[in-house]
Amino acid sequence: MSQLFIVGTGPGASDLVAPRAIEAINASTDLVAYGLYLDLLGGVCHGKQHHELPLGKEIERARLALDLAASGKKTALISSGDIGIYAMATLVFELLDQQIEGRESHPEWLEVDIEVVPGISAMQAGASRTGAILGHDFCTVSLSNLLTPWETIEKRIHSAGQGDFVISFYNPVSIKRDWQLNAARDILLQYRPASTPVLIGRQLSREDEAITITTLDQLDAKDVDMFTMVSVGNSESKHIVNPVNEKEWIYTPRGYKKKLSFKNEKLGEEVTV
């Protein structure tokens, strides 16, 4: 039977990998991934055939995963984070669609049983390390203009600014793309305060994790690399410091403050909504 698992393995820490992801990898004989993701997973990948393709070879990776599965090998296509958020999953279905529409010559792909396994994405790991920046309406914007025109990305950032969404930037910089994050910052400064809290999370949940809390006006592409996620609060997000243990947190409120104030005024009387 042709089986393809499309698996998100979380941000990196083994205790944030869903058991279903481990089951899928265990059940597979062949693993297709960018090499780093298999390194992060470690032991569960042993004894399997590894097919590692570098960055930039996403189409080839998706094709190979479908080809292997169609040939009868139980295959797992692996990305870190959630494989359905900007990663490989959508590309597999795009290839399937091309086949259904007669633009590919791989009818065997249609025989493959596909299961997508969700995972915890980098922005969720970053948010959890620093509190609850994603606590209210948020959006994700990929700053990679290799596939999406910059005009489209700009429009998205303007819309996110107008809507006052918390924004998580994926693919914030790369070797060739070093200006997009600053352009995004400058757009957002038209809509929200310079003091808006920003979370910069590098190698989240991994050994060399580094977390920085800064402000929107201080956000700079030079402080960010390919292993980093960036989340920008909305106009109400707050950066707080616990004076007792100096722990810093960012949270985005949902509007409970009005209820909390009302409760205090009523001297502990419960307010039901």
Q: Are 236 and 253 in contact (CB under 8 A)?
A: yes
| Least distance in angstroms from the C-beta of 35 to a copy of itself | 18
For position 96 contacting a copy of itself by CB under 8 A, the verdict is: yes
Q: Does 117 bind a copy of itself (CB under 8 A)?
A: yes
The number of residues in the chain equals: 273
Least distance to a copy of itself, CB of residue 61, Å = 11
Segment 200 to 259, residues that bind a copy of itself, using CB under 8 A: 238, 240-245, 247, 249, 251-259
Q: Which one among 27, 50, 71, 97 touches a copy of itself, defined by CB under 8 A? A: 97
CB of 72 to a copy of itself, least distance (A): 16
Give the count of residues interacting with a copy of itself (CB under 8 A): 95
The least distance separating a copy of itself from the CB of residue 256, rounded to whole angstroms, comes to 6
Q: Which is nearer to a copy of itself, 13 or 223 (CB)?
A: 13
| 142 part of the interface to a copy of itself, by CB under 8 A | yes
Chosen residue from 36, 52, 90, 225 binding a copy of itself by CB under 8 A: 90
Helices of type H across the chain:
19-27, 35-41, 58-70, 89-100, 122-129, 150-162, 180-188, 256-265
Question: Which of 132, 217, 152 has the alpha carbon at shortest distance from 182?
Answer: 217
Strands 228-232 and 166-170: antiparallel
Q: How far is the CB of 49 from a copy of itself (least distance, A)?
A: 22
Closer residue to a copy of itself, CB minimum distance, 207 or 222: 207
Nearer to a copy of itself, 19 or 47 (CB): 19
Strands of 248-251's sheet, edge to edge? 131-132, 248-251, 238-241
**Three-state SS string across 110-174, please?**
HHCEEEEECCCCHHHHHHHHCEECCCCCEEEEECCCCCCCHHHHHHHHHHHHHCCCEEEEECCCC
